Amino acid sequence: MRSKLPKLAPLRDGAEEDVLADMIFSQQHRAKLHSTAPIKRLNGKIKRRTDVVGVFPNEASIRRLVGAIRMEQIEERTVQRGDT
């Protein structure tokens, strides 16, 4: 690869530590780090709840709703893990 893309080699060498940073975690945790499922689930929940409201009077009301949804998600995760 170095002979085909000589300008890319230094960039790749410099990024090696960042690219391999998640290797310190166990395989179980690495799978969760690479998953976008939680983000997709959160975005879907936000979309469903905002569709119900329809039109928001201002930006602050949108922020409150999204913040409340996020807080619900954090509470659910805390209960699932057994943190109190």
| 73/48 same-domain check | yes
Question: Where are the strands (E) in the chain, listed by range?
Answer: none
| 26/52 same-domain check | no
Task: Please tell me the total count of domains within the chain.
Answer: 2
Q: What is the reported pLDDT for 84?
A: 55
| 44/81 same-domain check | yes
Instruction: Supply the range of the domain harboring residue 84.
Output: 36-84
| 43/79 same-domain check | yes
HSE-CB of 5 using CA atoms within 13 angstroms: 7
Which residues, 6+ apart, have CB-to-CB distance to 56 below 8 Å?
50, 62, 65
- pLDDT tens for 42-68 read 999 999 999 999 899 999 999 999 999
Q: What angle do CA 59, 39, 14 make, to 5 degrees?
A: 110
| 26/47 same-domain check | no
Q: What is the reported pLDDT for 37?
A: 83
